[in-house]
Copies of this chain bind each other. A is one copy, B any other.
Amino acid sequence: MHTVKLSLGERSYDIEIGANLDEAGARLQGLCLGRKMAVVTNPTVKGLYGGRLIESLKAGGFLVMSIEIPDGEQYKNLDWVNSIYTALLINSFDRKSALVALGGGVIGDLTGFAAATFMRGVPFVQVPTTLLAMVDSSVGGKTGVNHPMGKNMIGAFYQPKKVLMDLSVLRGLPREELLSGMAEVIKYGVIRDAAFFDYLEKNREKILSLDPDALEYVVRRSCEIKAEVVSKDEREGGLRAVLNFGHTVGHAIETAENYRMRHGYAVAVGMVYASRLAHKTGLCGAAVPERVEHLVRSYNLPSDLSALGRKPAVAALMDTMQLDKKAEGGKVKFVLPKRIGEVVITKEWDEGALRDILKS
């Protein structure tokens, strides 16, 4: 097992990579949690891992109930957060009672927001079960739900007390889910670590066959980079925005297509497009978008919108980007690569070039 520490003063916590689900109850001792605990999950994940986790928590002395949210991004909304509040109140939860998010990004974001806002904040623990949640959403304290007018428009910065990752659960993950997570992994290489990008180019087969050592390295390095960025800028005053590489266009695609495309797939397209935009804006050579596109494709991720069947209208994508949370005064900030391993955050980008790229 490998522990990555996210350093945020009194809100610091451990990300335990390679922890065994059956040890969860023991691993949550010493965090000053109350006895009552609610595991929030969806029916699919509950069927696979709910029993093991709940047994382990009970063995650790906790009184455990479970709360089920239907499976899907469309349930990541305020109504389902409210259903969590109601369940907690019916069961007399208090301010020390903890929520445990068992699932992917939808469950983690929704549960985190419920924990942030129930009684003005109760402790919570992330137990991510997808690669995407392990390398991205479970780490760093962004919680929230969608509004019909935009993704993650409602939320809070709220850190978990611990993140427990049992890598063996990735063996049960559908292929597309695994690939979706790889898009975020590739992102870390582009934004902060050229050597990691090389590693991903050279170890494709090991990673995709879920070689345990390769998988642990991929998750660990991703979490290290995210933890480093978040510890320097928790609330996205500046640096943290680098994590949005590929997400500006990616979110616009998701919104315009009503989440028909997987998050990681949309981010993959977004990374390729942002790299092309960087090149056309004169920030980097042609080799950068070529290498990004090649790596994305080698992990069977889409590099353009042809996978959608019909393309969303360019105007609709541009409009959606202007509504993005990261937009300020109507001008979108893009994260653009200068080279593999280094990006800049900039409002200076060529709008005509972006339209051409979206059309192509």
User: Does A86 have its Cβ within 8 Å of any Cβ on chain B?
Assistant: yes
Q: Is the CB of B153 within 8 A of A119?
A: yes
Give the interface segment out of A65-73, A154-162, A292-300, A304-312: A154-162
User: Does A96 have its Cβ within 8 Å of any Cβ on chain B?
Assistant: yes
Q: Is the CB of A154 within 8 A of B325?
A: no
Q: Is the CB of A117 within 8 A of B34?
A: no
Q: Is the CB of B78 within 8 A of A328?
A: no
Give the interface segment out of A142-150, A176-184, A201-209, A215-223: A142-150
Question: How far does the alpha carbon of A328 sit from the alpha carbon of B227 in the complex, in Å?
Answer: 33
- Nearest to A88 among chain B residues (CB) is B153
* Chain B residues, CB < 8 A from A142: 120
List 23 A-B pairs, Cβ < 8 Å: A34-B328, A34-B329, A78-B78, A85-B147, A89-B150, A89-B323, A92-B322, A92-B323, A92-B330, A94-B329, A95-B328, A96-B329, A113-B117, A116-B156, A117-B155, A118-B153, A118-B154, A119-B153, A120-B142, A120-B152, A120-B156, A121-B157, A156-B156
- Nearest to A36 among chain B residues (CB) is B329
> Contact check: which of B96, B149, B150, B155 meets A120 at CB < 8 Å?
B155
> Contact check: which of B34, B118, B235 meets A121 at CB < 8 Å?
B235
A140 CB → nearest B CB, Å: 12
Question: How far does the alpha carbon of A12 sit from the alpha carbon of B94 in the complex, in Å?
Answer: 29
Question: How far does the alpha carbon of A328 sit from the alpha carbon of B36 in the complex, in Å?
Answer: 11
Q: Is the CB of A120 within 8 A of B144?
A: yes
A39 CB → nearest B CB, Å: 20
Ranked 8 nearest A-B pairs via Cβ: A89-B149, A120-B155, A119-B325, A94-B328, A117-B154, A120-B157, A85-B147, A94-B327
User: Does A35 have its Cβ within 8 Å of any Cβ on chain B?
Assistant: yes
* Chain B residues, CB < 8 A from A117: 113, 117, 144, 154-156
> Contact check: which of B86, B96, B147, B150 meets A147 at CB < 8 Å?
B86
User: Does A82 have its Cβ within 8 Å of any Cβ on chain B?
Assistant: yes
Question: How far does the alpha carbon of A89 sit from the alpha carbon of B153 in the complex, in Å?
Answer: 9
Q: Which of A47-105 contact B (CB under 8 A)?
A: 78, 82, 85-86, 89-90, 92, 94-96
